[in-house]
Structure 1
Amino acid sequence: MKALIEVHNLWKEYNGKEKVTALKGINLRINTGEFVVILGPSGSGKTTLLNCLSGVDRPTRGTVIIHGTDLYTLSEEERTRFRAENMGFVFQFFNLVPVLTAIENVELPLLILGVNRKEARERAFEILRKVGLAHKCDRFPEELSGGEKQRVAIARAIVHNPKVIWADEPTGALDNETGRMIIDLLMEMKENSTLVVVTHDERIAEKADRVIRIRDGQIEQDICEKAL
């Protein structure tokens, strides 16, 4: 299977009063269509890794190649465009725009990419229907439950058919039952995308194709669950 994501000798250092090395020479390949969970305790470097993989935070050194593109040879503007075209993001606290309705939040990535408003609205409505929220498309985030907000966030992440979906603690702000539903929904909705989830929740790993455990900025274990 062809690798969608290739990481070579990735380091991330923060220089404050004391130098902190968050990532220490990470090497990694993630294949197209994989559901990968990155596990680790607080402070292990897992969110820093996600941010560097997705082009949000520039590593100190090393290479990240996604779909044949070396992220950190791109300009800031080019990298932003690449993320918009190829990536979807799901966050712990949803990151919905509070002054936009559910359907307006979902259509936003399409409008940014230049899709005309009529088509964007139709595609956003169809995705909301798939996640079971067509009847709440005109509600504002404050009118939705936590689980409903996360379903809107998932719809927004997948509406433009990204090559990779990044999820940072997507169940962290939800109760156990709602959290399980959200993971099942992510798996169902990712279709042809690759799904990379950062979490400290061991239960999510049970659903994954592959589990990568991070500790002290290094890969401690990399297990293909489906092979067990």
Structure 2
Amino acid sequence: MRSAVRQGASVALATGLYGISFGALSVVAGVSVPQTMALSLLLFSGGSQFALIGVVAAGGSPVAAVATSTLLGARNTLYGAVVAPLLGVRGWRRLAAAQLTIDESTAVAVGQREPAATRAGFWVTGIGVFVLWNAFTLLGALAGDALGDPRAWGLDAAAGAAFLALVWPRLAARRAQVVAALAVAVTAALIPVAPAGIPVLAAAAVAIAVGVLATPRTPSERAEGA
């Protein structure tokens, strides 16, 4: 439990700080402060939010911005399928869990060994990221151009570094290494030619395909195949 809480808090802090970058970039792209806050409060998906303002900054239409953001956010559906049976929540808690199901909360939750630690890791990470992400988004939006390029502060690397620290221990197994290598290769190949969001979905598809193909069949299934 303590380890899960510590992990969740550290990831929440690193990811929350990254909200400064989003807030500043969003305002610079021409999105108002209330609109920027609405994105963080309601959409609450960093990748989707950055994709949306990226299209807006490039002069794309609102339809293209929403479509790109939605495509990238589709990965959260996969996260929900993984997290839901682990949490076992009902009623309004299920709605709250759906809002808090993001990259970071899912990673911390599935990285725990005990059910209680899984739940603690999910809620601490999800609530922590939500509160800090929105607080720092507001700070970045209000500061706007005064911050200059947010990447100069290293904020664009903070969340990625925290997420990598969570994933790295899970790459000890050979299958996990193969999945990671294939996902990286597919993503790198698609980034120059595919619309935003497609490389991430393709990487997720690689992991699913490897999981399906590499899962040992039962004796009855092997007999049917023969």
Using structure 1 for the length normalisation, give the TM-score: 0.28
Larger Rg: 2
Considering Cα pairs closer than 8 Å and 6+ residues apart, tell me whether 1 or 2 has the greater RCO.
Answer: 2
TM-score by length of structure 2 reads 0.28
Q: Which structure has the highest strand share of the two?
A: 1
